[in-house]
Amino acid sequence: MAEAEPLLELSDLVTSYRLRPGIGRPGGEVRAVAGVSLTVHAGETVGLVGESGCGKSTIARTIVGLVRPSGGKVLFDGRDLGTLPAKELRRLRRDIQLVFQDPYASLNPRMTVAALIKEAWRIHPGLVPRERWDDEVRALLERVGLRAEHAGRYPHQFSGGQRQRISIARALAVRPRLIVCDEAVSALDVSVRAQILNLLQELQRDLGVSYLFISHDLGVVRHLCDRVAVMYLGKIVETGSKEDIYRSPAHPYTQALLSAAPSLDDWRADEDGEHGEIVLTGDVPSPLRPPTGCRFRTRCWRAQDRCRDEEPALVERDTGHPVACHFPGALPPPATTAPEGGRPMKE
């Protein structure tokens, strides 16, 4: 798998939003994605994790062409989406579909499920002959676990989980090779979430589709993904196989994220009810003014002078997988940082 040409390749991608000056706030440019390289191979699921505002959705929007990158490249099948002629670009866009967190917002409430799915075939004519549309709608609905006879219903007549199935059916309608799932299961209840995760896996097994699976839920990502990239403030700080990331995380942020994530086993605490989790101090800095050097240094318990002056590159160190940290390692953190957080440890 790793030998083959990647299906999707992001190379040093930069995406910025321009902010107009407001009251008490200067204008400026937010580099929401500040130089990200990432690959997804055919038939693979890559997880992208990180806290809100770190740039995950911006990556998703850039890949599907909803926003333009201000630097770097998006390659699909080896072709640069930024320089492709319009006609070919449209053809390629079909291969990449996006499924959002809130299916209600992305489904036109005035269209029936059948019309929503057929719309995709109108946009991409020639894919399914018109006389097959009704049959194909029925097949797609069955495929995602909905009743074919509900094709005439409207989105509000379905539950959240069912609406997510409709979004997936619509994405599948154009036979994509890559589906970008942006928090696609985050709004679902546990029992329904498991149904959708199983469906995604089944579709991959049967159709060979690849996923870029964006989530803040580390448990779900571990369950679903082959490889994982961890993002912080617009950059990838660590990437590797699922085992690399979950069994031997080397970046302090990855370590903190994993240790903060609650799990079913957490009731096995020590006598004081402590979990020995790393509790980071403070909040994520504004992407308008990221810290110099390492972007994580204001919350990092390993930070040293070098971290302020020199930005660590995302390269394979003696960790066996790429880590953007000057002092990576499996070292257990000091007992835990001060609990009454807020104050950066280093300035």
Q: According to the binding rule CB under 6 A, does residue 290 interact with ligand SF4?
A: no
252 binds, among ligand ADP, other proteins, ligand SF4, none (CB under 5 to 8 A by kind): ligand SF4
| Rounded Cα–Cα distance for residues 323 and 320 (Å) | 9
> Which is closer to Mg ion, CB of 141 or CB of 233?
233
Shortest Cβ distance from residue 232 to ligand SF4 (Å)? 9
Phi, psi of 227, deg, nearest 5: -125, 160
Q: According to the binding rule CB under 8 A, does residue 335 interact with other proteins?
A: no
Q: According to the binding rule CB under 8 A, does residue 264 interact with other proteins?
A: yes
Sheet with 71-76, side-by-side order of all strands? 28-40, 8-19, 71-76, 79-80
Shortest Cβ distance from residue 324 to ligand SF4 (Å)? 7
φ/ψ region of 184 (left if φ > 0, alpha if ψ in -120 to 50, else beta) reads alpha
197 binds, among other proteins, ligand SF4, Mg ion, none (CB under 5 to 8 A by kind): other proteins
| Rounded Cα–Cα distance for residues 229 and 322 (Å) | 10
169-208: which residues touch other proteins (CB under 8 A)? 189-195, 197-198, 201
Q: According to the binding rule CB under 8 A, does residue 161 interact with other proteins?
A: yes
Shortest Cβ distance from residue 122 to other proteins (Å)? 32
> Which is closer to other proteins, CB of 93 or CB of 163?
163
Region near ligand SF4 per CB under 6 A, out of 10-18, 20-28, 35-43, 320-328 = 320-328
Long-range contacts formed by 142-146: CB under 8 A, 24+ apart: 143/169, 143/172, 143/203, 144/168, 144/169, 144/172, 144/199, 145/195, 145/199, 146/113
First to last CA, the chain: 44
Q: According to the binding rule CB under 5 A, does residue 254 interact with Mg ion?
A: no
Mode of pairing for the β-strands spanning 315-316 and 235-241: unpaired
Using CA atoms, how far residue 12 sits from 55, 69, 187, 346, in Å, is 14, 10, 31, 29
Phi, psi of 240, deg, nearest 5: 175, -170
- Count Cβ neighbours within 10 Å for each residue of 27-58 and write b for 16 or more, e otherwise: eeebbbbbbbbbbbbbbbbbbbbbeeebbbbb
Q: According to the binding rule CB under 5 A, does residue 215 interact with Mg ion?
A: no
Shortest Cβ distance from residue 247 to ligand SF4 (Å)? 19
Q: Give me the residues that bind ligand ADP (CB under 6 A), please.
A: 17, 19, 30, 32, 50, 52-58, 287
Closest CA to 336 of 278, 296, 281: 278
Shortest Cβ distance from residue 105 to Mg ion (Å)? 13
Q: According to the binding rule CB under 6 A, does residue 161 interact with ligand SF4?
A: no
- Among 61, 143, 297, 317, the residue binding ligand SF4 under the rule CB under 6 A is 297
Interacting residue ranges for ligand SF4, rule: CB under 6 A: 251-252, 294, 296-297, 300, 302-303, 307, 312, 325-327
Interacting residue ranges for other proteins, rule: CB under 8 A: 51-52, 159-161, 189-195, 197-198, 201, 216, 218-220, 222-223, 242-243, 246, 256-257, 259-267, 269, 271, 273, 275, 277, 279-280, 282-284, 339-343
